[in-house]
Amino acid sequence: MTFIDWVILFLYLIFSFVLGIYLSLKNLNETDYFVAGRRLNGLLAGMSMAATTFSIDTPLYVAGIVGSRGLAGNWEWWSFGLAHIAMTVVFAPLWRRSGVLTDAAFTELRYGGRAAAYLRGIKAFLLSVPINCIGIGYAFLAMRKVAESLGVVDGHIIFGPLTDTMLFMILVALFLLIYTVLGGLWAVVVNDFVQLVLALLGAFAVCYVVLDASGGMTDLLIKLESLGRPELLSLFPWTLSKDGFNWLDSSGISITTFFAFISLQWWSFRRSDGGGEFIQRLLATKDEKQATLAGIVFLIVNYLIRSWLWILVGLAGLVLLPYQSDWELSYPKLAVTYLPPVGLGLVVVSLVAAFMSTISTSLNWGASYLANDLYKRFLRPSAGPREIILMGQLSSIFLLLIGVATALFNNSIGSMFRLVIAIGTGPGAVLVLRWFWWRVNALVELSAMLSGFFIGLITSVSPSFTIEDFGKRLLFTTSFSAVIWLLTLFFTEPESDETLNNFVMQVKPPGPGWSKIRKKLNIDPVDSFSVLGCRFILGSGILYGGLLSIGAFLLHQERSAWIALSIAVSSVFLMKKTRLITQ
């Protein structure tokens, strides 16, 4: 990096700091601090959701997938689009109607008694500390890799066990804390908007220069085909030819793993009905319509705009860096090699912005659990707004320290991502069912969450019980936890009539599972179960038809592109004609 690149980075950091200080003036109580006073519009909330998923680790993660497993490896994260569609067209209005402050607090709206309180506390701890801090850890790991690729640090000892890499991460963490701790969700969301714009511009700049260096799209495709790796340009881990169906073993994706991605992972994961930081944004919107709009904005930005910018860079890295061993590092190395001064500074700013958006969200989201669902709920029920904000600020510092420590003990972003998936697999079915069936109780959700967490952890890290095939690991975790929560359901009592009645009056849940209670209370659901199902199917057609058609056109696979585009256009037409998306 040249002097001008450092100046650009410094100016951006000062801007973020000043913006955070200014927005901190909006925080009068915990609602302002943790859900922005419930005044976000759908565009800002959706852009914030997209920004928080675009961390500095994300383009490195995608480049690593493309380099090691080819294009089809992206189904590891593309499959979550199904859960995000369900979040948008089914669960976003329900979450907004619940009116809670966190998804952990939702448990005491849906359930009652001591079991609900235990569930709230345990859930708040698991989501805020181990799960959240692993996410913070792999974002810092990516920051470490980028810093080392840029030559900012090299890992040499400064004093005792302290290396220059550790010192760099500590300095970044301290700066990040200032605007996150002071500004709360207002500072996070507004900074997210700016950071997302910068991140998209940076991704486009890297994509443009590496395609130009590769000789353009046509030349790049010719060079990739000459590598003799058919999985690189295949949208799926198989090929169809006159010789029949052929599974691409070279993709490193087994049949069980691929089908676990598309048929199991998205609904079995703990984010099946939204996901913690996404739910925080939905709860912060003005109303149900804005919550749905937030989901739509997120789907467009995250899947249709960003995906192929990252993937094309990963493909170009295979040609431009043929001797690369760690494909996760190809993204920053390509930026350093091919971007001129100023351009490199802007891309570095975009990566730092992406990093800051994710970490600031994780800190504010995790602190909301520790301050509201643990401290206020169990330790200091009489705590006032200022005390809760202070506890949220202290919690942010605590979570960041653990997250930085986590990053120092791992070297693979992809492996940490898969660990997060593994320990979060299992409770997804219960999280969906609780919205549609009165019989689910607090002990059922608690058993599903704990069994999924510990089974996923043991089968991922224990030498004696590790299941190497990722698909089989997900299937085993889901199946074993299902046995546990089904037995719990059979042997425990349902929630009280008072608890169920209050939930139905507040949320107006859909589906036949609530029909008797709705009839007794004379309450109609906002949407029928069949309408929600049609929204989900057509939304899936729009998203994946658009995603695959864009990619197929870029890869000069015209027949596949036109088929996918036809599916997307037909789904849009049916959605509009039947007015399924309107509320």
Cα angle, residue 1 at apex, residues 19 and 338 outer, rounded to 5°: 110
Task: Let me know if 294 is exposed, middle or buried by CB neighbors in 10 A (0-12, 13-18, 19+).
Answer: buried
Q: Please give the average per-residue pLDDT across 490-510, as a whole number.
A: 95
Mean predicted confidence (pLDDT) in 447-455: 92
Weakest-pLDDT range from 77-86, 189-198, 209-218, 310-319 = 189-198
For the cut 80, the answer to whether the pLDDT of residue 384 exceeds it is: yes
pLDDT at 189: 84
Helical (H) or strand (E) element with 97: helix 92-98
Q: According to CATH, what is the number of the domain 3-495? A: 1.20.1730.10
d(CA 243, CA 381): 69
The 10s digit of each residue's pLDDT in 250-263 is 777 888 888 888 98
User: 363: closest CA among 152, 9, 52?
Assistant: 52
Taking alpha carbons only, the member of 140, 546, 96 closest to residue 358 is: 140
Q: What percent of the chain has pLDDT over 90?
A: 43
pLDDT single digits (tens) 33-67: 777 778 889 999 999 999 888 777 788 889 889 98
In whole angstroms, give the CA distance from residue 501 to residue 353. 45
The pLDDT value recorded for residue 508 is 93
186 by Cβ neighbours in 10 Å (0-12 / 13-18 / 19+) ranks as buried
- At residue 97, the pLDDT reads 94
Lowest mean pLDDT among 16-30, 129-143, 213-227: 16-30
- Look at residue 160 in the predicted model and tell me its pLDDT: 76
- More confident position, 208 or 9: 208
The CA-based dihedral angle spanning residues 262, 268, 273, 279, taken in that order and rounded to the nearest 10 degrees = -100
pLDDT exceeds 70 at position 279: yes
Contacts of 203 (CB under 8 A, 6+ apart): 59, 306, 309, 310, 313, 350
The encoded tokens of residue 282 equal: 């939905």
Range in 42-46, 359-363, 447-451, 487-491 the model is least confident about: 359-363
Q: Would you say residue 583 has pLDDT above 70?
A: no
- According to DSSP, residue 511 is labeled S
Place of tokens 């709230």: 120
Query: What backbone torsions phi and psi does residue 100 show, to the nearest 5 degrees?
Result: -80, 170
* Structural contact between residues 307 and 74, judged by C-beta atoms closer than 8 angstroms: yes
Average pLDDT, the chain: 87
Q: Domain extents for the chain?
A: 3-495, 528-582
Retrieve residue 562's tokens.
Answer: 């036109």
Q: With contact defined as beta carbons under 8 Å apart, do 313 and 58 qualify?
A: no
**Strand residues in 242-394 grouped as ranges (E):** 244-247
Q: Categorize the per-residue pLDDT at 414 as very low, low, confident or very high, splitting at 50, 70 and 90.
A: low
Which pLDDT band, with edges at 50, 70 and 90, does 312 fall under? very high
Comparing 164-168, 389-393, 477-481, the range with the smallest average pLDDT is 164-168
